[in-house]
Chain A
Amino acid sequence: MASYLIRRLGLALLVVWGAVTIMFVMFFVIPGNTIDILSGEKVVRPEIRRTIEKEWGLDKSVTGQYVHYWNRVLHGDLGKSYSNNRSVNELFKQRAANSARLAFWGLTIEIVFGIGIGVIAAVRKYSLLDVVTGFVAVALAGIPVFVLGLLLQYGLGVRPAQWNWPRWARFPVQGMGPNRWFVVIPLGHQWKYLILPAIVLACVQTGFITRISRTSMLEVLNADYVRTARAKGLRSSTVIVKHALRNALLPTLTVIGLDVIGLFGVAVLTETVFNWPGLGSTIRDYAFAQDVPVVLGLASIVVLFGAMASLLVDVGYSILDPRVRLTTEKVD
């Protein structure tokens, strides 16, 4: 187990290295000169240009810059923003928590509703509930995030305000409000700011997870060991939860693992629509400004999280399914 984990950790770091390298190269391949962009295409005197280039290390070769970059990163410094001189480490500290909280709730909604509805739909196969949830799941998976976000903002925020609905029925549509949290638990009115972006973030994947857990649950409910469990005289709730669900979770877990990575992608859109100051919207803002250090630094951390998530899925698999052993040793 330990050797397996070390090996997987090594692989994860390799993925991060590869991602950073590709991004690094990409910034040199895309057209546009950093100084031109920073100066807003104005004419910059050559000596100033040289000073700036020297200060930021832009006068070195690509390889030189690359080595220099890694040198800094390995010393724990992600660099400074070209555009406003802010430290990327600081930016990360400010924004990561916001992103993590939103992602946590998005993921929670996904897992609870996705698996819950999927299981119920499978157990009540072909019932009205199954048909309706199936339709809604496909619809949710198909609606673009910004459309759904705007619809929710309109229906639950804008319209209620226009019609003078009571305060409790109105939801704020922008920003993250009071920013009061206990770790990830929203305090006071914070939940009102959280709920809409979390729902939007979760929606696409909730649809997928519903369908996947329904399918794998249906398969498992027909399995011989489920019949055995019933033949043993167990309650049908025990049969479903203990014998069927645990096996049905395996394929679902894979999807959830991949999803953690996808969540950052969706988060860019969600955070933009709701003006949520997280990593996604920050990366987007700085990417428009071609602010290489910020984008590179934050994106590589996102990649690192993604790699860790898939490692966690593998560990989760070995906990759920004893047939999967995390060893390189021979299995008897």
Chain B
Amino acid sequence: MTDRTDKPTSSEPLLSVRDLRTYFHTDAGVVKAVDGVSFDVGPGEVFGIVGESGSGKSITAMSILGLIPRPPGKIESGQILWKGQDLLACTEGQMRRIRGGEISMTFQDPLSALNPVYTVGYQIQEMVLVHQEGSRRSAWNRAVEMLGQVGIPRPAERALDYPHQFSGGMRQRAMIAMALSCTPQLIICDEPTTALDVTIQAQVLEVIEKTAADLGAAVILITHDLGVVAGMTDRVAVMYGGQIVEQGEVDELFYRPRMPYTWGLLGSIPRLDRPAHERLKPIVGAPPSMLRPPAGCRFHPRCAFACLEACTSVGPELMAVNADAGHLARCHRIVEVGWERVFLEQQEERLQS
């Protein structure tokens, strides 16, 4: 997939999120769940968004589809350009056509995301009927066809089953079948593997990759699992505290990360090539409260490298590190000479000790 990494910059992006700010107005105050997020997704591209719980990844996705519950949520500012059209300025009717028809989404926990009182087939058929011309019969056939395509055995029979009669992996497959049933150009997968066994995870990812590629659909893959991102995506954005803290092509980001948070994430993955007794290196501390985010760099309270005065007082901008690979990072210290060596040296130390 590396052969088309220059696509998003050279051609018109399919989706362009510009300085998106989604706030929740709660009794306790304003929660800045998404605070100035910008990224582009090109046609057919697989874009990963990685981050801890509460980093704003799901809210970003829901903002794109206009699914933020309001009140309390509100998109304060920014633009979401879908093929040049600003989704935030769309009417509800226009959004309905785009939801499911052009951009579709799968959700984290497929048991609660599928309606318990309707059959799986019916729930897909219902969506096909909204977006495509044709009879109930043909919509049903489409549902069965999609279930078959995502690898559900005996799809014609299983379409008549209710979600509770499916296993966890099959439910996630059904969600993917539903999301792809109306041939969208973009599918947003919110934590598609979180609730699944590891063996099933790989199968589900393969299904997403294969069916999306067959349709030529772009994918936004939201996850907290860096392993998933490494294997599947073209470009990745790392989110922390409602902001993108590092973004770039997947290889660049994994091999030459610049942001200490990304280092922390990479350092905390279990690896098979390390001794089994070696302890994982967690990122100390807890994610910031988005009600009162830390002043300066949002990561500084947990950052082992936050020694500049600016770290605690000035929020760093997202700065270009390597323009060719679209590599951006949000850290005051990346301008320092030899900064990129710090992470590598740290890793070598770990290897030696």
Contact = CB atoms under 8 A, between A and B. Distances in A.
A106 B235 CA distance: 63
A242 to B, nearest CB: 8
A204 B114 CA distance: 36
A72 interface: no
Interface stretch (B97-105, B308-316, B324-332): B97-105
B99 A233 contact: yes
Interface stretch (A73-81, A193-201, A222-230): A222-230
Contacts of B113: 224-225, 227-228
B130 A228 contact: no
B116 interface: yes
Contacts of B165: 332
Contacts of A247: 115-117
Contacts of B162: 322-323
B101 A233 contact: yes
A219 interface: no
Contact of A224 (B65, B107, B178): B107
Given A231-B104, A232-B126, A233-B130, A322 B116 contact: yes
Contacts of A246: 117
B202 interface: no
A222 B72 CA distance: 13
A235 B62 CA distance: 17
Contacts of A234: 96, 126-127, 130
Interface in A205-237: 222-225, 227-236
Nearest to A235: B96
Q: Which bracket fits the contact residues of A?
A: 20 to 34
Nearest to A226: B115
Contact of B99 (A223, A231, A323, A332): A231
Contact of B112 (A224, A231, A321, A322): A224
A320 interface: yes
A121 B252 CA distance: 53
Contacts of A231: 65, 67, 99-100, 104-105, 107
B96 A228 contact: no
B74 interface: no
A243 B126 CA distance: 11
Given A224-B113, A225-B113, A225-B114, A233 B131 contact: yes
B164 interface: yes
Given A224-B107, A227-B107, A232 B100 contact: yes
A243 B115 contact: yes
Contacts of A223: 112
Nearest to A221: B69
Find the residue from A223, A228, A246, A321 having the highest chain B CB count within 10 A: A228
A230 B104 CA distance: 10
B145 interface: no
B109 interface: yes
B116 A232 contact: no
A247 B162 CA distance: 14
Interface string A226-261: 011111111110000001001100000000000000
Find the residue from A322, A323, A332 having the highest chain B CB count within 10 A: A322
A321 B99 contact: no
A230 B107 contact: no
A43 B119 CA distance: 74
A231 B186 CA distance: 13
Nearest to A236: B92
A236 B99 CA distance: 13
A320 B117 CA distance: 7
Interface in B3-57: none
A217 B173 CA distance: 28
Contacts of A229: 115
A33 B104 CA distance: 78
Nearest to A247: B117
A164 B188 CA distance: 69
Contacts of A322: 116-117, 119, 162, 164
B131 A228 contact: no
Interface string A58-85: 0000000000000000000000000000
A227 B67 contact: yes
Find the residue from B101, B112, B116 having the highest chain A CB count within 10 A: B116
A233 B98 contact: yes
Contacts of A243: 115
Contacts of A233: 96-101, 127, 130-131
Contacts of B130: 232-234
Nearest to B108: A224
Contacts of A232: 99-100, 104, 126-127, 130, 178
A18 to B, nearest CB: 35
A72 B101 CA distance: 69
Nearest to A244: B115
B66 to A, nearest CB: 9
A230 B67 contact: yes
A208 B62 CA distance: 35
Contacts of A320: 117
A235 B117 CA distance: 19
B98 A228 contact: no
B100 A323 contact: no
A301 B62 CA distance: 56
A145 B322 CA distance: 78
A208 B256 CA distance: 63
Interface in A42-70: none
Nearest to A321: B117
Nearest to A125: B71
Nearest to B114: A225
Given A246-B117, A322-B162, 10 more contacts: A224-B112, A225-B115, A228-B113, A231-B65, A232-B104, A233-B97, A233-B98, A233-B99, A233-B127, A234-B127
Interface of B: 62, 65, 67, 69, 92, 96-101, 104-105, 107-109, 112-117, 119, 126-127, 130-131, 162, 164-165, 175, 178
12 contacts: A224-B107, A225-B113, A227-B67, A230-B99, A231-B105, A232-B126, A232-B127, A232-B178, A233-B101, A233-B131, A234-B96, A234-B126
3 tightest Cβ-Cβ pairs between the two chains A and B: A233-B100, A233-B99, A224-B112
